Amino acid sequence: MNQSPHILQFICSTGFYGAERWILALCKNTPKEQAKYSLAVTKEDASQDLELVKQFARDCGDTYEAPMSNRFDKSVIDKLADYIIRNKVDVIHTHGYKSDIIGILAAKKAKIPVVVTPHGFENADDFKLRLFIWLGCQSMRFADHVVPLSPQLMQDVQRYGVKPPQLQYIQNGVDLSEVEAVREAPAKLVKPKKRIGFIGQMISRKNIVDILDIFDEMAATRDDIELVLLGDGDERQHLEEHANTLASIKDIHFLGYRDDRLDYLRSFDLFVMTSTLEGIPRCLMEACAMATPVAAYDIAGIDQLVKHEQTGLLAKLGDKSSLKAHWQNLLDDENLAKQIGENALRYVNENYAAKRMADEYMTLFNQLLTDRK
């Protein structure tokens, strides 16, 4: 086994969201002498000029973009296997349904071990997408190790026949240094009203329509609030169309992907989530690390970070009335909001540091290679 193993991170990326930032956190928090990290992505119509590729090349290591002529171009398996062999990759680490399928097949072809990290599951309505997700989940059974990000995801994965010792758990982590730098610097943004905010992908399981509806109800009785939504995704057009039907539309702002998302996060008086399904959301970790008070639905994954009345306020899934009351409490009770934010900051620092996570992954990679040898 090499003194410093070469680990290839592989993702079929369409933006710069939780999984992409997670890869950067893992690699940036691993000492250079412990591992050589590189990155492979598929180059598709929806993945041009990726921010992940730019930042990885700047901070972490070599990058490779494998061209795909369609949504699932089987030739990319050979391209990836060839890259693995030519660059003497020791382990491939995959992220996402399509990445898992391609990465596992390429790893078998190149005769190297593969580690899969599920970041979350999609409760999609589209039959073709559900079938594709099912195939991705089935492929995990052929990985050397499957390492989900949360206890709930551990349970979900076992439904597909993945069991210990193949199934391992490493608690999620986030690089808090970037958040800390913004939190401690002078504020950059001026806001005319109290700001309720969301950052993340605009996809079905995020259930952002509930955020819009709750805000619209609140805005009917108060004129001191605005809603700011950062991110992009398949649901954005539908959500904007829905927002245009609401009386509060003038105070609803869709800003898309922003390089200064952390400055916006700092400006939020309240961070909100209404997801129906999650792993452990990176955006929620960052909100906690910014000491921004959080109100959300009580679902698996979110409950790993938000403890009701301690590190945030939780409502039963779908209970918009209770969640609205939590929003109002945190907006109107400054002492409560401050205490909740400080508790969340302390909790995420103590339990979700990226350095601890990176060290545990290196132990896993090294043990896997030792066992292979």
**Token pair 């916006």 in the structure block, residue:** 264
For residue 273, give the nearest of 226, 327, 310 by alpha carbon.
327
CA distance 97 to 320: 32
- Residues with Cβ within 8 Å of 148's Cβ and at least 6 positions away in sequence, in order, are 117, 118, 154, 156, 157, 167, 169, 279
Here the tokens at position 302 are 């979110």
| Structure confidence by residue, pLDDT tens digits, 202-214 | 999 999 999 999 9
Q: Which residues contact 327 (CB under 8 A, 6 or more apart)?
A: 196, 214, 218, 270, 272, 295
Query: Which region, left, alpha or beta, applies to residue 183 given φ > 0 means left and ψ of -120 to 50 means alpha?
Result: alpha
Residue 129 has what pLDDT?
67
Question: pLDDT category, 363, cuts 50, 70, 90?
Answer: very high
* pLDDT surpasses 60 at 157: yes
Distance from C-alpha of 198 to C-alpha of 287, rounded to nearest angstrom: 10
Phi, psi angles (nearest 5°) of residue 153 = -65, -30
Per the prediction, the chain carries an average pLDDT of 93
| Torsion angles phi and psi, residue 314, rounded to 5 | -125, 145
pLDDT top residue among 359 and 175: 359
251-261 mean pLDDT: 95
Min mean pLDDT across 43-57, 198-212, 269-283, 337-351 is at 43-57
Segment 27-38, tens digit of pLDDT = 999 999 999 999
Please tell me the chain's helix, strand, coil percentages from 3-state DSSP, rounded to the nearest 5.
45, 15, 35
CATH number of 177-351: 3.40.50.2000
- Split at pLDDT 50, 70, 90, the class of 123 is low
pLDDT tens, residue by residue, 209-240 = 999 999 999 999 999 999 999 999 999 999 99
Residue 247 has pLDDT above 80, yes or no: yes
**Residue 63 identity:** T
Q: pLDDT (tens digit, 9 = 90+) per residue, 49-94?
A: 789 999 999 999 999 999 988 877 889 999 999 999 999 999 999 9
Look at domain 6-173+353-372 and name its CATH class: alpha beta
256: left (phi over 0), alpha (psi -120 to 50) or beta: left
Task: Using CB atoms within 10 Å of the CB of residue 298, give its burial: 0 to 12 exposed, 13 to 18 middle, 19+ buried.
Answer: middle
Beta-ladder partners of 9: 39, 93
DSSP 69-101: SSTT-THHHHHHHHHHHHTT--EEEEESHHHHH
- Whether residue 189 is predicted with pLDDT greater than 90 in this model: the reply is yes
Give CATH 3.40.50.2000 domain extents, the chain: 6-173+353-372, 177-351
| Token pair recorded at residue 219 | 């805005």
Q: pTM of the full predicted structure?
A: 0.70
- Cα–Cα distance for residue pair 157/147, rounded to 1 Å: 9
Q: What is the DSSP letter of 344?
A: H
140's CB contacts (< 8 A; 6+ apart) are: 100, 104, 116, 118, 146, 157, 160, 162
Digit-coded pLDDT (tens) for 5-50: 999 999 998 888 889 989 999 999 999 999 999 999 998 876 667 8
User: Among residues of the chain, what percentage have pLDDT more than 70?
Assistant: 97
Residues contacting residue 216 through CB under 8 Å, at least 6 positions apart = 246, 247, 248
Token look-up 């709750």 returns 214
